[in-house]
Structure 1
């Protein structure tokens, strides 16, 4: 049914359990061959000899099926026109529809949001005071930084709360662990996460997980570590390097629990930045202040000595559009460069950083929204001959990277000017702890 389909979409679920009133009875549809339960990939093929249908996933089973009793050309999805097929989910009769309670998609969405906080919430809970309180809408222009903070602060808080609930809901139980000892003498737990394999959760190298044991074969234990390996073509296992090696129950291999560790760091920094913006008038220049608030300003042009060549050494030659972007950025206090993938935004950005460093004595801070983007920029800027220091989170210091030799901790470790510091770093590496 279309309503049920909307609920499945809203919850971002891929598995459904058909109710016992269904013609098929209470069951979870799955692929006959591989057992996949992704309802968006499932379809059916009528069997030639029997009055039955066979459920097969679109890829790869239906595509490669060679069973002579099935006609793969007749494969059809279980969902048609945003509704489940009638023989899978029985449509209500006219009498049932008359007796049913009418509910809008807006109410469905609000109820789904409530269920994330309270699994027992009902439609009546939607009428309670405060449930429908909406945050202030964002504006095109703001009177001052206080109004800006008062509007965006609650929005960031809502996003942080949602992100926290999402992380905490990804806990997985009944995990089997294989223990190992890394070259740095730290314990490594190897295990599989079914939700990761099904695509319900995402995981990246460097993410933090908490492994817990609350069984009967050992006293309660928990340890936090960072992911050093994620599933690939060779193995589906996840490698988790624990921070501490003391008390790890390596003799236990079953009934572990894995929690995704939520960190508020990025959200705390957003709130701090908005607070600083509101109370410290010197936190940004007057021009940037009014630009962020959406105030109309006369274009400001910086008096700078333009370089004779806009292309930076060690980087590909810039085309006309890229050179215009570099020239424009060097003359303005605030700029935005846009372009589809493959248009050379990274090379253009690295060229801008090169010229900024040459034109102004001091340091240039370069930021990007992901570690991959930062590494790419670091590599390009280093190619120009500038001295680059790549800052990383502590949880990522042990990870290999193409620009690892430029990271702060690696440059400090390779420095020969402080002998005592080298001894401390060596001791830390030998003992595997701080």
Structure 2
């Protein structure tokens, strides 16, 4: 009962911090440090400066505040380990993000995010500070791993033809490894507490074109690497993604493909629902899946999303309806069968016209079927169909179109762009 009470209290404190983080002041920063379990104390540096120091097992953060205007003057981070190159600077030349998060914002929301991240690395780093040299083989310094991981990710993306994704570290004054695509941030990787406190995290590096655990004895438990999708419009084929790596998703709202284009006869060959998945566990061996996730994002952005907009005629949005799929046999067929309706239909040009009495007599004499005016008016009205209808097959991994051939996810980006450009021209002509 006591544990449940403490857990509930912790959740309430977390919600309150997120809802009302407080303005930037030395008093509020001190309280924030205390709620994260960090030791804090204030010293007088001189007649003009207060120094708030907060510390844990590894981290020591010194924050200097002006006595006169109460504003932050400087922030320094020191690690009580042998690693001195921890990156706590904004990507490029943006400066110290700990200082920026106290100097450039009116409240403590961004600083809380950063301090919580540092506290997480501190808690789950496996470092014996007293015997760090003798136990070097089992030491797993998450500060060092985070700093070096960006380089491994960049090498992995280049090796897998995903060089159009730019790897950035610490964007918008928040810790994380970010993926930028066409100038927009689409996702990030950060450390998070694992849902299973016994889940292990090992030191995987990208070497010789694969992710390998170079030090099998270096591991920690209770923390994971989470890849968060920041862009809201990306949908994933949920049936092709292992459920155990999905940390946050919305499978109850599958994406609905809508075809409002009269010149396109669409054959839906998808084998999986498209759903919004916002967070993936890419720890350990799951790092191998990261390049596949980014490849899908690339395919979605460059091919599927432009295609759906062509078909829909406007901005596409997820719809809470099941995803209609057709048999996958079409994907292997060399010719695409044209679908036709077996219901009786009348053309819009015949709207409001009924057979004359004389015509009715002739129809009877010829033995032809006769319809009453009521029966004719009951039939659905269809607009005159365009003479040239484009037959288009869509699938998670390919598109196939009359006169254009096919386009697959494994082809180069030039082929993707060429296919979509030609398809847009063909649909618009």
Shorter-chain TM-score: what band? under 0.3
Normalising to structure 2: TM-score of the pair?
0.22
Answer with 1 or 2: which has the greater Rg: 2
Considering fraction of residues, name the structure with more strand. Answer: 2
Normalising to structure 1: TM-score of the pair?
0.22
